[in-house]
Amino acid sequence: MILDQINQPNDIKKIAPKDYDMLAAEIRDFLLQKISVTGGHLASNLGAVELTMALHLAFDLPEDKLIWDVGHQSYTHKLLTGRKKDFDEIRCFGGISGFPNRNESRFDAFNTGHSSTSISAGLGLAQARDLLGQDHYVVSIIGDGSLTGGMAYEALNNASQMKKNFIIVLNDNNMSISENIGGVSRMMNSLRTAPGYNGLKENVSTALSRIPSVGEGLVRRISNTKSSLKQLFIPGMFFENMGLTYLGPVDGHDINQMIHAFHDAKRLNRTVVVHVMTHKGQGYAPAENNPEAFHGVGSFVLETGKAVKKTSRTYTDVFSQVFCAMAKKDSRLVGITAAMPEGTGLKLFHHLYPERFFDVGIAEEHAVTFAAGLAAGGLKPYVCVYSSFLQRAYDQMIHDVCLQNLNVTFCIDRAGLVGSDGETHQGLFDLSYLQTIPNMNIFAPKNCYELADILRFSAEFQGPLAIRYPRGTAYEGLKEFREPIQYGKSEVLYEEQEIAILAVGSMVETACAVRDVLKAEGYNVTLVNVRFIRPMDQALLERLALTHRIFITMEENVHSGGFGEHVDAFCAEQELPVQMINIAIPNMYVEHGSVDKLKHVISIDAEGALRQIHNALAGRSEE
């Protein structure tokens, strides 16, 4: 196999051009074999194989820098940079990440995970190169989906001012901006990148402008005519009009064609957009036919594309079913997603109520202010978003929603640890940043039934409301505890004296296990399902402080700014005579791995929580 020759970085440069296509096929087979076992991002990686090969052949890594937008399509890049042997544990704890990571390899020039950042980062790297007098190429690779994010256009606008080389590769697998593929585009690209062309163009313009009386007008008329002709023949006039040089479209599965385009781009001292056309899921029929379903996958049967095990009902499923039932009764309800209809559970809503469904693209900032406008207009918008992506719209939550106390509900999926997607996707900060915002109300359900109840409660609630729930299987335990939701009130599941555990959302299940052990050790333990993090049930805390000497808070959020820290502050302000023990995620970025493994490593599973509690009771600090 040709792939056997790829073991060290830049080994691809030793491969004969006649073998490129065979190597691409072998890389696809390798990725399919590995991802079908470990899970991961499949369709995007299958579509980017030849593109990645061409980049590695046209540029000299790691001196030249590649920045992958989002980064989920970087598997072939990892394979070609000496990490082929590590794919058995990709996205597993202690293994390689599913995204570029500077700590993992010097060939990963910039960490990515969220969308629309690559052009800004690449532009910064290019400007740093120029100011430091260095000589290398910087290439940002961005997908058409990421161009729905406003940050990308801010960066493109800035990049138009570049006087040195900076290359942007548009990996287009869906857009229709590339009608004119073929001879005319190739001819124009060759002409515009020919060594003498740009200098000739400038010299002619200068000479014509010096003609007395008519020179300036002649240059303008020729320029206008040239632009009109370009509009007919060049599909990239959007970029040209921004002051960027456009090359393409280029077949993203023709390695030699892409290599030539990249060499053309390297000759220009300005920002160049190379438009590459690829197909998501290329080479694997199930992914080609349904790329959305194969965007991120668990383990699956390679021959059929079917999941190895049937997934149980998730919190996302519960949200989807309940929200659609609510929308049937209430025409004010609208659903908003930032390019994640399936991941956030809005796909069924889209099917049933298309006129009330809004996919705004990868644009969380716009999504939140758009929701604010809908609310101001009399509707009841639900912004359905992952925790790690909502943090991108922090200003909009403050300025556009909460300042006006508008009726916007945030359904925050993937709150807490998400597992194998790693540090860029863990939802560890939402309780901290949301609690800083006046008028924001925050609720975390303990199980699937409580998620359904708070959603129904939200329909008539007045003001901003954030509902946070975790990724994965919806907890169905504690069904017998289902007190009606009261605004700002917690739910006492078991009341005794001495120790009170105050557990937030997903940590209630863990708290039950902790309570059982403490009870067996002879302690009397109250267990509280916090429900409302904001407003905090202060009256309950004051009452419990009369009969308890220890408060234990448990949350799947960083300690800094989290629920426990706010309870600490309240108890100190009120001089409540209780010892505080906070079980929370340390103030750190948490790497990839299974959720159970990560909880164990950072000591927020039952075993780790008990260890922290025993140490605190004994006056010892956690090592």
Q: Is 364 annotated as a binding residue?
A: yes
What number of other Cβ atoms are within 10 A of residue 606's Cβ? 18
Q: Is 350 annotated as a binding residue?
A: no
* Distance separating alpha carbons of residues 95 and 596, to the nearest angstrom: 16
Q: Is 113 annotated as a binding residue?
A: yes
Q: Which of 422, 472, 424, 595 is nearest to 40 (CA)?
A: 422
Q: Is 506 annotated as a binding residue?
A: no
Burial of 362 (0-12, 13-18, 19+ CB in 10 A): buried
Hey, which residues are catalytic here? 280, 364, 392
Q: Which of 601, 578, 579 is nearest to 588 (CA)?
A: 601
Asked whether the beta carbons of 474 and 448 are under 8 A apart, the reply is yes
Task: Tell me the CA distances in angstroms from 280 to 100, 137, 286, 391, 469, one per residue in order.
Answer: 20, 27, 11, 28, 31
In degrees rounded to 5, what are phi and psi of residue 167? -115, 130
Asked whether the beta carbons of 172 and 139 are under 8 A apart, the reply is no
C-alpha torsion 59→62→67→68, nearest 10: 80
C-alpha torsion 285→288→289→294, nearest 10: 100
DSSP of 405-443: T---EEEEES-B---TT-TTT-B-SHHHHHTTSTT-EEE
Vertex 269, ends 264 and 275: CA angle to 5°? 45
3-state secondary structure 544-570: HCCCEEEEEEEEEEECCCCHHHHHHHH
What number of other Cβ atoms are within 10 A of residue 616's Cβ? 18
Extract the tokens encoding 377.
């207009």
Return the exposure string of 443-476: e unless at least 16 CB atoms fall within 10 Å of the residue's CB, then b: bbbbbbbbbbbbbebbbebebbbbbbbbbbebbe
Q: Is 224 annotated as a binding residue?
A: no
* Distance separating alpha carbons of residues 274 and 141, to the nearest angstrom: 9
Extract the tokens encoding 619.
């006056």
Asked whether the beta carbons of 50 and 27 are under 8 A apart, the reply is no
Asked whether the beta carbons of 554 and 505 are under 8 A apart, the reply is no
Sheet holding 498-503, edge to edge: 491-494, 525-529, 498-503, 548-558, 579-585
Q: Is 284 annotated as a binding residue?
A: yes
Asked whether the beta carbons of 106 and 62 are under 8 A apart, the reply is yes
Q: Is 72 annotated as a binding residue?
A: yes
* Distance separating alpha carbons of residues 402 and 266, to the nearest angstrom: 48
Asked whether the beta carbons of 554 and 581 are under 8 A apart, the reply is no
Q: Is 144 annotated as a binding residue?
A: yes
Q: Which residues contact 372 (CB under 8 A, 6 or more apart)?
A: 396, 400, 401, 404, 406, 408
Give the H or E element holding residue 185: helix 183-193
Q: Is 614 annotated as a binding residue?
A: no
Q: Is 39 annotated as a binding residue?
A: no
* Distance separating alpha carbons of residues 497 and 595, to the nearest angstrom: 32
Omega within 30 of 0 (cis) for the link into 354: no
Q: Which of 410, 415, 387, 386 is nearest to 397 (CA)?
A: 410
Q: Which residues are annotated as a binding site for thiamine diphosphate?
A: 72, 113-115, 145-146, 173, 284, 364
Q: Which residues are annotated as a binding site for Mg(2+)?
A: 144, 173
Q: Which residues are annotated as a binding site?
A: 72, 113-115, 144-146, 173, 284, 364
